Each structure stands twice: as C-alpha cells, then as structure tokens.
Amino acid sequence: MLILIGLFALAMTTIIPMILLESSTSNGHANASIHNVLYKSEEELRSLIGRKPNNENVNEKKAGDKKLPFNVPDINKKLPKSSDDITKKANKRTEKKPQEISVIANSNNNEKNKQQHQILARGVSGLPMSQTPALEGAEWGHVECDVNVDDMAYWNEPQGTRDQNFVSPFSMQDGDEEQQNNGSKQRKRRYLTFEPDPGGWNNIRMSMEIIFAIAATTGRTLVLPPKAPFYLLGMGEKNARSFGSFYDTSKAAFQKEFEVISMEEFFELEVFPKQNVKEIGIFDFLTDEEVRQLKGNETHKMCLYREGSGNHCENLFMHLRKAGYQPPLESSVNCFVFDQDVFLGQEITDDLKERADRFCGKERTPIYYNQTIHEPQLIHWDSSKVDAKTGGHRLLNHFYSFLFFTDPLVDNHYKRFVRDFLHYKDSLYCAAGKIVHALNNEGKWSSLHVRRGDLQYKEVKIPAEEWYANLKEIWNEGEILFIATDERNKTFFDPIKEHHNVRFLDDYWDVGKLGDLDPYFLSMIDTIIASHGRTFAGTWFSTFTGYINRMRGYLGYSMKDSWHGWLPRKETVREYMYPTGNYNAREWPIGWIAIDGDEVIEHEGVPVPEINDAVGSASKTFQRKVCRKP
C-alpha cells in the first residue's frame, strides 16, 4: 500500500506536470501553448493527462533557445521520402538554395491543425478563457489558400458574440433619427471623408487605422478616398489603388461594424443633383460648373497627384475641406478622448480625468468627443498640411496611442476591431504562409528588418558589420536569418553571411508564387514573414519595423524576443512601457496585451503552474498590473 501511495504522489508532483509541459510544446498551432494548458478546466486537464505524449513532435531544445509562443512544423518529424535529404541537410546548416525547398503540405495533419487552431489565447499577450468573455462564440481566423496556412492568422473570424452585438455608446443618441416623407423614422446618416497620409505605406496605414476606428466609434458612414497612387507604391493611373486593394471591407461582419462606401457612391448619392428630378443632394456645396468638371474628369472615381492634371486629387479634396467639419486635432499635439459622461454633456469624473491626462502626457492636449464634434453631418479629415504649427491635422500615430476610451470594455473592443478586421488580404497571407513553412522546414530561423532606403534618420542606417556586432548574441550558431529589406545590393549583407545563412524574399519567388502578385505588395509579405521569426530585430524609427512588432504581439510573442539593430535603442522594446514621447517611432504593447479581456493590463502574462490537489487540477496565476473598470 505504501508503494502505491508513493507512486501516486510521484505521478501528481512530477509526471503529470511534465506531461502538461510536453503537451503545451507539441507541434501544432501558435496557441497550443503552456498558457492554454494552464488555463484549461479540470475536465480538460484530466483529458490531457490521459493522452499519450507525442514524442515525435517535440522539438529538441538547445541551450540558449527561446521557445516560440507557438510551434512551427518540426523539421525532425518524418517527411515524405523525397524530402528526407532536405531535412538532414537543414539540420547541418544547409547551403541548398531556398527555391529548391518544397512546401510540405501534410494533409493528414490538416484536421489536427484545425482543432488546435480553435484555441484563442495568444501566448504572453493572452488571458485565460475565464477572463475573456468577449471571445465566447469566436473562432480563429482562416486564410483562403490552396494549402493550409491558417497558422499565419492572428485575428478572430468570426468575432465573439459580444463584439458582434456591440453598439458604440458614441454612435446614437436621442434626436439622431429624422422623419422621412412616408412618415417613418430613419437613422440620420453622418459621413466621414478623409485624405490619405502623404507619407509611405505604413504611415498611410497608421492614419487609416485611426480614421476607421473613429468611424466605427461614432457610427459614421466611412467614405473611402477615390483610387489614387500611394507614395512609393507606383505612379500613374495603372498604379491607382483604393484601400480595398489591401483590406477586405466588403465582408458582412465588417459592414455590420460600420458602413463603408466609395467616394463615387457618396457623390452620386448625396452630392450630385439627381438626374431628371428637381431634388439635389443633401450636400449642396458645388456649383454647376464644378459638378461638370468633377463628372467630366471622374475625379471622384480616380485621381492623381500630378500637377496640371484635370483629375488632380486636390480638385476633389479642396471642395470637401470647405464642406466638411475638421475636428481641432493633430496627433502629435492632441489626444482624442471618448468619455460617455462628457459626450452626454456632463463632467468627467476625477479618476477618469486622471487616466486621460496620463494617456495624453505633458506634451499633448486632450480633446474630448462631444456634441460639437458629433453633430456635423460631414466630417472631412484634412491631411494636406503635415505640420501642426501651420494648422495641419496629420494623424501620424498609432490608433491606440491617439484614441483613448475611458471605459476599458470599449477601449479593448476597438483594439480587437483593428486586430480582427484591418489585416491584409488573404492572397498576401497565403504567399507569406508558404514561405514561412518553407523556412520552418529548413530549420530554426530569426528575422530582421534592415531599412536602407529613403529613411530620413541617417544615424540608424548602420553598416552590416554593426548589425552583426550589435545582435550576434541573440542568434543561435548557424541559425538562418530572414532579412526583410529595401537594400537592392545584397552584397551589403556579406559580413552577416560569414556567420549565418541569409535568406531574402526573392529567394522564395517560386515557393510563394510571388510573380502572380502586384510587385508593390511584396513589402507587405516581407512584414508578415518577419513577424514569425524566432527572434526579431528591426530598424529604430521605422514604422515598418513597428508593425512587425505589433503583429508578433498579436501572435503571442514576448517583447523580450525583439530588439533594434541600432545600439542606442537596442533594448527599447523589450520591456513594457506606457506610450509616451515619440509615439510613432515604435509600437507599444498596450495595443495588444490582454485586449480580449475587460481590463487594461500593463504587463505580459506570466502563468505559474501549480498542482495542488489529488485530481491534478491546476491553479492559475496571471501576474499583471491592472487598471480596473470604474
């Protein structure tokens, strides 16, 4: 009897925790992590304990390795015979060309991957399901592709039931309905038009995220700018694009959040006089000659930033600036605060004002969303001037460090909105997924973003020797390095190649079928791939680097696995910091940490396993600093 009791105690204190850890690190989707195992119910834990460990799928861990928040396809598991040689060489720092490495689509694992993909926690960024009621009814996102690359997705689709039924407290109020000719009442339609940021793509994306979040919060119909070339993404009519080229705004769930229409639809519906009737549009701000010119040049459909062109974008935006209301905000000198009491004409409470002041900091003046901003039927956001001192209203900031919601439930809802809806189209994730899987099949790999082009901050454009010297200790010996870069002369990286096998996007041209895609979208594929490296090091001041770090946060990677190549800012992103100072120089973890919960949590999750009773149930500790809902 004593022997049996001893064996039972040994099982409870040693064997079962080992099995749990084994299960948490088995091969599969990103979120089959220790966080999920620790936060399972007693019944689920019993089921896990009774499951035979799958030793074939456990990666051999070397000294100094950092465990990914999710598990990539294991290169040591048995592959089809034709790939055996590739696998053996990959374990010996292969010199085989990446184009020759096939993407191994193991159909037998598709169902297993699908099941693991249902787990919604996100590594150190996540919370136990008991603390995430917003995730009830949600499913992990799916990437439409000819192979299974769902492990690329960081978003939920569909969102949880609560998010699907969410109604913004700032979108409707008494008096927002107007009488129709037939006696019925209809919601008064308010619009938001805007001009894209004049900078590069990631500056445009940041501004767009703010605009989309404002439209969703205020219940306005968002009017997308007409197709036009974006800076550094080609010139002329053939390169004219809309935001719909990058994001799928047509999905029913997206349109349920708020209505999105084109500039052409807006002008035909509300601006141009109706044909063969006396009725005019509700926005009567154009003369007959201006209507004729806009229609003749079709500037509301497509415009160019070309001097002397009849369809110059300025010929459209100058009218909207006159017709629309511009809120008195600029993202470097203001923050935009949404508080329900202020919106309803009441005073903000002292504790919420203190939180808003902390968010805005000493350098920014808070502007509260109130009836003055709510009432105009048309808001037009003018980004033509980039300097706040000259009356500019540029939105060069992150949505979560410019918009502040005093209610954490509302704040986290819109952080999930951006995560779940404003991600690139499936075609880009499909190509990136194939390349990530090919890299996984080569062995362990880390990623870098080395900005060399038009970045105005010359001090961070360091030689490759410095990149290697500053970062060499974060990489494993012989580890593959994937480099996302705008440097065309790849010999620049020769000093790094002396120590590591280096990979670039064009090494996987055939694997990702990149020739089938718009060449100006390739940098976005670079972003997706780099977000999946074991470690990541980027360029300080670069919003491209910043977005990679945010995507890693969405996936559940720890901040401690990210660096910058420039020595003075090498460690900057590795510790939690509240947004302050030069906001757009980096991304801030408040944008992704624990956003599926109902509190603002200012620390990565630190789960602590503890077996404390005879049935093997696990207590759960999630160490964090919280700002509780008032």
Q: What is the pLDDT of residues 278-311, one digit of tens each?
A: 455 567 889 889 999 999 999 999 999 988 889 9
| DSSP conformational letter for 583 | G
Segment 352-369 shows an average pLDDT of 97
Among the residue ranges 174-178, 179-183, 229-233, 535-539, the one predicted with the least confidence is: 179-183
Return the closest-CA partner of residue 425 out of 603, 249, 216.
249
Length of the chain: 630
Amino acid at 467: W
Residue 264 pLDDT > 50, yes or no? yes
Among the residue ranges 167-176, 218-227, 518-527, the one predicted with the least confidence is: 167-176
Among the residue ranges 136-140, 155-159, 189-193, 385-389, the one predicted with the least confidence is: 385-389
- In angstroms, what CA-CA distances link 339 with 136, 370, 493? 26, 9, 50
Pairing of strands 600-601, 626-627: antiparallel
Query: Across 3-7, 76-80, 170-174, 458-462, which has the greatest mean pLDDT?
Result: 458-462
pLDDT given for residue 14 in this prediction: 44
Q: Which two tokens stand for residue 571?
A: 């460690």
pLDDT band at 43 (very low <50, low <70, confident <90, very high): very low
Report residue 211: phi and psi, to 5°.
Answer: -60, -45
- Over pLDDT 70: what percentage of the chain? 73
Q: Which residue has the higher pLDDT, 107 or 589?
A: 589
pLDDT band at 176 (very low <50, low <70, confident <90, very high): low
How far does CA 563 lie from the centroid of its chain? 19
Segment 472-477 shows an average pLDDT of 96
Residue 388 pLDDT > 90, yes or no? no
Residue 45 pLDDT > 80, yes or no? no
pLDDT given for residue 249 in this prediction: 85
Segment 598-623 shows an average pLDDT of 50
CA torsion through residues 145, 150, 154, 155, sign: positive
pLDDT given for residue 274 in this prediction: 61
Return the closest-CA partner of residue 602 out of 594, 610, 611.
594
Name the percent of the chain in helix, strand, coil, to the closest 5. 40, 10, 45
Q: Which residue has the higher pLDDT, 101 or 555?
A: 555
Residue 452 pLDDT > 80, yes or no? yes
Contact call for residues 592 and 579 (beta carbons, < 8 A): no
Q: Which two tokens stand for residue 607?
A: 């789960």
The CATH class of the 436-597 domain is alpha beta
Coil, strand or helix: which one is 613? coil
Q: What is the pLDDT of residues 60-72, one digit of tens each?
A: 333 334 333 333 3
Segment 100-112 shows an average pLDDT of 40
**Facing residues of 405 across strands?**
338
pLDDT band at 5 (very low <50, low <70, confident <90, very high): low
**Facing residues of 179 across strands?**
185
Return the closest-CA partner of residue 327 out of 415, 395, 398, 243.
395
pLDDT given for residue 309 in this prediction: 87
Q: What's the Rg (C-alpha) of the chain?
A: 26
Q: What is the pLDDT of residues 185-221, one digit of tens each?
A: 567 899 999 999 998 899 999 999 999 999 999 999 9
- In angstroms, what CA-CA distances link 53 with 78, 141, 265, 304, 555? 17, 28, 58, 60, 25
Residue 231 pLDDT > 50, yes or no? yes
pLDDT given for residue 129 in this prediction: 80
pLDDT given for residue 391 in this prediction: 81
Axis crossing angle, helix 543-555 with helix 201-218, rounded to the nearest 10: 50
pLDDT band at 183 (very low <50, low <70, confident <90, very high): low
Contact call for residues 207 and 231 (beta carbons, < 8 A): no
pLDDT band at 243 (very low <50, low <70, confident <90, very high): confident
> What is the domain partition of the chain in residue ranges?
2-126, 186-406, 436-597
pLDDT given for residue 185 in this prediction: 55
pLDDT given for residue 113 in this prediction: 42
CA distance 439 to 427: 19
Return the closest-CA partner of residue 170 out of 343, 379, 326, 380.
343
Q: Which residue has the higher pLDDT, 130 or 334?
A: 334
Residue 142 pLDDT > 70, yes or no? yes
Among the residue ranges 32-41, 65-74, 132-141, 467-476, the one predicted with the least confidence is: 32-41
Q: Which two tokens stand for residue 157?
A: 């689709």
Alpha helices in 261-366 (DSSP H): 263-266, 288-297, 314-323, 340-343, 350-360
pLDDT band at 318 (very low <50, low <70, confident <90, very high): very high
